[in-house]
Amino acid sequence: MIQAVAYFRKSNEDEGESIAQQREWAVRAARENGIELVAEFADAAKAGWDTVNRTEFGKMIQFVSANARKSPIEAVVCWHPNRFSRADSLETFSFLQKLREAGCSKMFIYPNAWKDFNRSEDRIIFGVEQEAGSHRFVRDLSAAVLRGRLAGARKGRYVGSKPPFGYLTTPDKKLTPHPTEAAVVARLFTAYAAGTESLRGLCRALEADGVLSPTGKSLWAAETLSRILDNPVYTGDLVFNRRSEGKIVRNGKKPTKNAPEQWVRVADAHPALTSREQFEAVQARFRLNKGRTTPNAAHTFLLTGLAFCGNCGHRMIGRTMRSTHSGTAFVHQYFVCQRYNAYGLRSGCTLNAVPEKDIVPAVVRRVAEVFQSPESLAAVVARVDEVGAEERTTGTHRAKELATKLADLDAKIKRGAERLLSVDDDLFEACKDQLTRWKDERAALKAELDAAGLAQAGERDAGRTAEAVRRSVAHLADVLQTASRADLRLLFAELIDRIDLNFAVADPTAKRKSSRFVGGTIKMRAPASPYLSPGPKSCYCRA
């Protein structure tokens, strides 16, 4: 008997058979066609294109892969290919390939049909059906939903899933002020437009007053306030299509910002919570702050995304501080705990900060050690010798080619000189010019041949080459210290998995607890290059 798994799916949009009906058919069809169902998986109320959130679908793939050796699954039994997936053919085939790699290359569908994905004709037909049928259904449905939302937005209706903070939705999909949140929004715009409060200061004030965030949390983040203060909906305008987030109709799945000319904007669609003048004052302050904090290529942080706080486990983020002493401006780059930076004392962490210049030397030494390990050094020397051998072989072939061309030219020049004595007067100058060109070409070939000979004569032996490589690698740490920041950042990202930075509280009894950097652990990635040895997976760096 053929061992198989059964997969059932029913979404809210589909009008087809229920999961119970699909299961009834699968059990009967398996019994009649010599199929043994070893497991069943069912996703209820899950869209066919949403492969990420179909948990049972993912479990089915994992189950088949896990049984690939001990008890291979040969087929998937499902009512229709669109029960398996409504994604496009490329995404669908990626899952079919995972199944095929585990030995599951067949699909049995209603009424009694086999599809074998080891056969090219079945793959071609399945792909065409997927694009023309299963995936097209999703695209048509998504396009219809989008058209409906656009039509609603043009009539001033709020078509989002959740109203913005400060508003409620009426039965006819209009926005109306929230009884308590509306006053909070007005307060935020007034304070920030006046320039009397920073975003973090506003966060602390809201928390002190017990105001919950839009997600119902007691802590506020500056980013949350920034999104509120940047939303034109609070001026009374309904704005739709500011971002492209569609997964089906639009290309790609990553949300992107749309240009203002692509927005659907309905002025005065609902009561405003701030004036247009106040909103513009807030945007002007945002633009001013952005101008002050524009990243400088010369001050790029080297360890962004790699450094983590050893106390709370959150990322360490780069912060630039500027100072002036005796008329000279200085730039200081620090890494600080992201959680503390966002929430301060409320975060449960401490003011963990360390100058970048105190960490980078240890990281550079660790990277140099990767190259300096005996295994890596031997691999690099072997590769240098291999390249040298290739160059010598190429040089020998080129020298032979040049010598042949030189001999041919010598013969041409000799014959040309002999014929020049007997040529007619009207052809004498033309023949003379051709002879001159051959001599110039010969001189160039001779110079290239001499240079190739000198290069081969000057080649060092393997021992001298290995010694030169060792000397270069021995001074690699010094070389890295002088490398450009952009190159160092790329190198660190390639070789380092993460850096955990540890801190000790300076005075546990103090109200505002400060800390000092005491060391950390550098964890290396598996090397991408075959010429590098991973060495120890982690290495302790001291303060």
Every domain of the chain and the residues it spans: 2-140, 167-292, 378-469
Residue ranges of alpha helices (H) inside 421-461 are 425-457
pLDDT confidence of residue 453: 63
Q: Does domain 2-140 have CATH number 3.40.50.1390?
A: yes
| Pairwise CA distance, residues 534 & 510, whole Å | 43
3-state secondary structure of 307: strand
| Pairwise CA distance, residues 70 & 67, whole Å | 6
pLDDT confidence of residue 212: 93
pLDDT confidence of residue 433: 80
65 close to 102: Cβ distance less than 8 angstroms? yes
pLDDT tier at 429, thresholds 50, 70, 90: confident
| Pairwise CA distance, residues 55 & 410, whole Å | 79
Residue ranges of alpha helices (H) inside 212-353 are 222-229, 276-292, 338-343
Average pLDDT rounded to a whole number, residues 196-219: 89
Only one residue has tokens 């000799």, namely: 414
Report the run of H or E that residue 200 belongs to, with start and end: helix 199-208
- The CB density around residue 343, as the number of other CB atoms within 10 Å, is 20
pLDDT confidence of residue 155: 65
Q: Tell me the CA end-to-end span of the chain in Å, nearest whole number.
A: 66
What is the torsion angle, in degrees rounded to the nearest 10, for the CA atoms of residue 78, residue 83, residue 84 and residue 85?
Answer: 170
Q: Which CATH number describes the domain made up of 167-292?
A: 3.90.1750.20
pLDDT confidence of residue 389: 67
Taking 60 as the threshold, does the pLDDT of residue 327 lie above it? yes
Sheet holding 353-355, edge to edge: 316-325, 328-337, 353-355
* Residues forming beta bridges with residue 329, ordered by sequence position: 324
pLDDT confidence of residue 304: 84
pLDDT confidence of residue 533: 43
* Residues forming beta bridges with residue 337, ordered by sequence position: 316
Taking 70 as the threshold, does the pLDDT of residue 470 lie above it? no
Taking 80 as the threshold, does the pLDDT of residue 81 lie above it? yes
pLDDT confidence of residue 403: 82
- pTM for the model: 0.40
Q: Which two tokens stand for residue 382?
A: 């072997």
Return the ∠ at Cα 139 (arms to 135 and 145), rounded to 5°.
145
| Pairwise CA distance, residues 231 & 348, whole Å | 31
Q: Indicate the residue type of 115.
A: K
The overall average pLDDT reported for the chain is 78
Taking 50 as the threshold, does the pLDDT of residue 536 lie above it? no
| Pairwise CA distance, residues 460 & 327, whole Å | 54
203 close to 221: Cβ distance less than 8 angstroms? yes
Length of the chain: 543
44 close to 78: Cβ distance less than 8 angstroms? no
What whole-number percentage of the chain has pLDDT above 70? 73
Q: Which two tokens stand for residue 157?
A: 């209706």
3-state secondary structure of 437: helix
Q: What is the pLDDT of residues 14-33, one digit of tens each?
A: 566 789 999 999 999 999 99
pLDDT confidence of residue 370: 72
Taking 70 as the threshold, does the pLDDT of residue 130 lie above it? no
- Bridge pairing between strands 167-169 and 106-109: unpaired
pLDDT tier at 149, thresholds 50, 70, 90: low
Average pLDDT rounded to a whole number, residues 212-233: 90
Taking 70 as the threshold, does the pLDDT of residue 426 lie above it? yes
pLDDT confidence of residue 308: 93
pLDDT confidence of residue 250: 46
Least confident of 133-147, 183-197, 375-389: 133-147
Least confident of 123-137, 436-450, 501-515: 123-137
- Highest average pLDDT, of 136-150, 273-287, 365-379, 475-489, comes from 273-287
Taking 70 as the threshold, does the pLDDT of residue 524 lie above it? yes
